[in-house]
Structure 1
Amino acid sequence: MEFEVTRDTRNALLKRREVDFELRFEGPTPSRMQVTGKLAAMMNVAENTVVLDTMKTRFGVMELSGSARIYDSEEERNKVERGYLLTRGVPKAKEEEGA
């Protein structure tokens, strides 16, 4: 996966960075968790402070463009972000069988 940040701006009021990126990949489209992990590693931040907003692919092209927000802390992220964005892309916990 080749990762390229196309825009990185600071939003001091909401204590976050707003990032646009492009990702080139081979094979199937990476999951939201893989993209979040790669972005966190590249930006040298914790994964729990990154919120992946959009991921867009085009037919026939192994390229993805998207946007994300990187907060200063997990508490700031929880104050500002909508709940569905925090849980989107997270694998569901398996329910216990036989219950």
Structure 2
Amino acid sequence: MKLEITEDKENPLLERRELTVKITYEKSPPTRKDFRSKLIAELNLDKDTVIVDKMEQKFGTREMVAFVKVYKTKERMLEIEDESKIKKNFEEEKEESS
């Protein structure tokens, strides 16, 4: 899987960065968990402040576009984000550690 950041916006009001990432893959599309792990590793981000908002498949290609939010603090993320988005992004980590 290859990642390319196509847009990187700073949002000072919400204290976060908003990234648009193009994902190119060989076989099957990556899961949210796999993509999130690779992005955190490549950009050296704090895993507790990254939310993968959505991932969209481009029809007929081996490409996806993901929208990611990187908060300055975990507290700020918890104030702003939906519980469902937080569950989608962090529930998988809890299952691994159990």
TM range (shorter): 0.7 to 0.9
What percentage of aligned pairs have identical amino acids? 30
Aligned 1:1-99 pairs, distance under 5 A: 1-88=1-88, 90-91=91-92, 93=95
Q: Distance in 1 between the 2:8 and 2:85 partners? A: 20
Q: Distance in 2 between the 1:35 and 1:73 partners? A: 21
Query: What count of residue pairs does the alignment treat as equivalent?
Result: 93
Shift of 1:42: 2.1
TM-score (norm 2): 0.86
Q: Which amino acid aligns with 2:72?
A: D
Shift of 1:88: 1.3
Q: Which amino acid aligns with 1:37?
A: S
More helix by share: 2
Q: Distance in 1 between the 2:47 and 2:17 partners? A: 14
SS of residue paired to 1:88:
helix
Shift of 1:60: 3.0
Q: Which amino acid aligns with 2:66?
A: G
List gaps (5 residues or longer) in structure 1. Answer: 94-99
List gaps (5 residues or longer) in structure 2. Answer: none
RMSD in angstroms over aligned alpha carbons? 1.5
